[in-house]
A and B are shown apart, each in its own frame.
Chain A
Amino acid sequence: MMKLIFEKSVKGKKGYSLPKDLFDDIKLEECLPEYTIGKDKKDLVEVSEVEVIRHFTKLSKLNYGLDDGFYPLGSCTMKYNPRINEKLASLGNFIYAHPLAPVETVQGCLEIMYNLNKLLCEINAMDMFTMSPAAGAHGELTGNLIMRQYFLKRHEKRFKMLIPDSAHGTNPASASMANFKVIEFKSNENGTVDLKELDRLMDEETVGLMLTNPNTVGLYDEGIEEIEKIIHGKGGLLYYDGANLNASLGIIRPGDTGFDIVHLNLHKTFSTPHGGGGPGAGVIGVKKDLIPYLPTPIVCYDNDKNKYYLKDNGKDSIGMVRSFWSNFAVILKTYAWILSMGPDGLYEASETSIINANYLLTHLKKYYKPAYDRYCGHECTLTGREYKKYGIKTLDISKRIMDYGMHPPTIYFPHFEPYAEETIMIEPTESESKETLDNFIEIMLKISGEAKNNPELLTNAPHNTPIRRTNDMLAVKRPILTYDDELKLKNP
Chain B
Amino acid sequence: MLTVNLKKHFSSKSKTEFLLDVSFSVGNGITVLTGASGSGKTSILRLVAGILTPDEGYIKANSQTFFDSGKNIDLSIQKRRVGFVFQDYALFPHFNAEQNIAYGVKTDDKKFKTNKAREMLSLFHIEHIGKRIPREISGGEQQRVALARALASDPLIVLLDEPLSAVDVETRAKLLDEVENAQRETDIPFIYVTHNESEAVRLGKHRIVLQNGHIILPIS
Do chains A and B stick together as partners? no
- Residues of B that sit less than 8 Å from A by CB: none
